[in-house]
Amino acid sequence: MTTVLLLVGSNLFMTYAWYGHLRTLRSAPWYVAVLASWGVAFFEYALQVPANRLGYGRFSLGQLKIVQEMITLAVFVPFSIVYMKEAPKLDYLWAALCVGAAAYFIFRSR
């Protein structure tokens, strides 16, 4: 559970670092956005590295990656709708089903 919570926190920072500047720093030069994103990404890595170290062994490498992708989608969709003001899309559902299928296949041998 600690691994999953750390990955959720990591993904919150990652999503903001990767996409938040598109809203908050739209008029700033690209290099300002890069520096700001790197600053935010530090906190992503500060959570992701311990999460992966704790999770590896409990999860296989493939399982750890699929858990990460599931969390990424679960964080990205609300972020894009709420923070970025994007319209909800049915494609998010289809993507979630595909990631869910990937989770099924990677965890079924466990």
Q: What is the pLDDT of residue 109?
A: 78
What's CA 61's distance to the chain center, in Å? 17
Q: What is the pLDDT of residue 110?
A: 62
Q: List per-residue pLDDT tens for the chain, 110 residues long.
A: 899 999 999 999 999 999 999 999 999 999 999 999 999 999 999 999 999 999 999 999 999 999 999 999 999 999 999 999 999 989 989 998 999 999 999 998 76
Q: Is the pTM of this model over 0.75?
A: yes
In 3D space, the residue among 49, 58, 35 whose CA is nearest the CA of residue 7 turns out to be: 49
Q: What is the pLDDT of residue 61?
A: 93
Residue 36 is inside which H or E element, if any?
Answer: helix 30-55
